[in-house]
Structure 1
Amino acid sequence: MDFYTYQYLQNNQNNWQYVHIGVIIILVILFIAFGIRYLKNRWDVKYKDLTIIVGVLCLLIVGIQANDYTNLRNSIKQTGQVTQIVQQVATKLKVKPQRVLINATQLNNTTNLLVKTPKGYFRLLFSEDGTQFVLEKIQLSHPEIKIQED
């Protein structure tokens, strides 16, 4: 079972987005460079073809990025909810949020959230509307825990 630290939840939301932005910037620079090169040498058809290929790749990557952006917004929202839950659990148990580990990075309706603290393991039981929760102390038999930390 994987548990995630508070720091991991805060830091690992946007790492892959920088790679996508870097790829888009490189493709746009190549598109401009091949376009300028083609305009200088109109008789050299290979620059025209390269400009078209890079332009299509730019459109494809931007389309994928737009789709990923909506998914990223949902993911950030859900991860933000998980970090808020960690803060609330820490407040209720009177420990620092950095000492609280949780077994999910995103919330969904079927998630059975478990929390590991210095005071033991707890299960979060949510109300029907999902705005409130109750902490139930549990005992894990044979806990095989991997901690994902930043």
Structure 2
Amino acid sequence: MTFYTYDYLHQSQSNWQYGRIAVLSVLAVIFILFLIHYLRNRMDIKYKDLSIIVATLLLLVLALQYNDFNSIQSSSKQTGQITQTVKQVANRLHVQPKTISVNSTNVNANLMVKTPRGYFRVDYNSDGSAFVLEKVELDGASKIKVEEAQ
């Protein structure tokens, strides 16, 4: 069973989004530079071709970004929900959120929490607005892997 730390949950989504923004920014700057260079030297056609290639790559990356926008937004929302749950569990158990790990990156019915005080199962009510912590004993606790932020 894999558990994810609070820092891992908090950083996993933001790194990928920043990477995409960086790629888009670099491609936009390269496109502008090639376009300016072509407009200064209209006789040098290689800069026109390079501008077209970079513009095509830029449009492709923008299309992929638009295509993934809903899934990124949904996963960011779920990560926000699970980090809020981790904060609430930490508050109830009087421990730091950084010492808590969960077995899922989104809120689900089988959410397990690993804390310094032991393992707990999170039982949500029917509409998901509140939960109860139930202490559990895990069989095979040696097979547990914890994913931490890097």
Q: Shared fold by TM > 0.5?
A: yes
The CA deviation string for residues 83-117 of structure 1, in whole angstroms up to 9 with x for no partner, is 11112212222322222211111224xx5100111
Measured in 1, the distance between the counterparts of 2:114 and 2:23 equals 39
Q: Which residue of the partner structure matches residue 68 of structure 2?
A: 68
Aligned counterpart, 2:120: 122
Question: Mapping of 1:107-118 within 5 angstroms?
Answer: 107-108=107-108, 111-118=109-116
Q: Report how far residue 17 of structure 1 moved.
A: 1.8
Deviation of 1:77 (Å): 1.3
Counting only pairs closer than 5 Å after superposition, residues 1-150 of structure 1 correspond to structure 2 as 1-108=1-108, 111-143=109-141, 144-150=143-149
The secondary structure found in structure 2 opposite 1:14 is helix
Post-superposition CA distance 1:53-90 (Å, at most 9, x none):
11111111112123333322222211111111112212
- Over aligned residue pairs, what C-alpha RMSD do you find? 1.7
Q: Distance in 2 between matches of 1:122 and 1:21?
A: 38
Q: Which amino acid aligns with 1:133?
A: F
Change (3 A) 1:96 1:41: closer
Paired with 1:19 and 1:92, the residues of 2 have a C-alpha distance of 36
Any idea what SS the aligned residue of 2:104 has?
coil
Q: Tell me the TM-score normalized by structure 1.
A: 0.87
Query: 2:95 & 2:44 partners in 1: Cα distance?
Result: 69
Deviation at 1:15, TM superposition (A): 0.6
What is the CA-CA distance between 1:138 and the residue it aligns to? 1.4
Deviation string, structure 1 residues 18-41 (Cα, Å, up to 9, x no partner): 221221122112211221222223
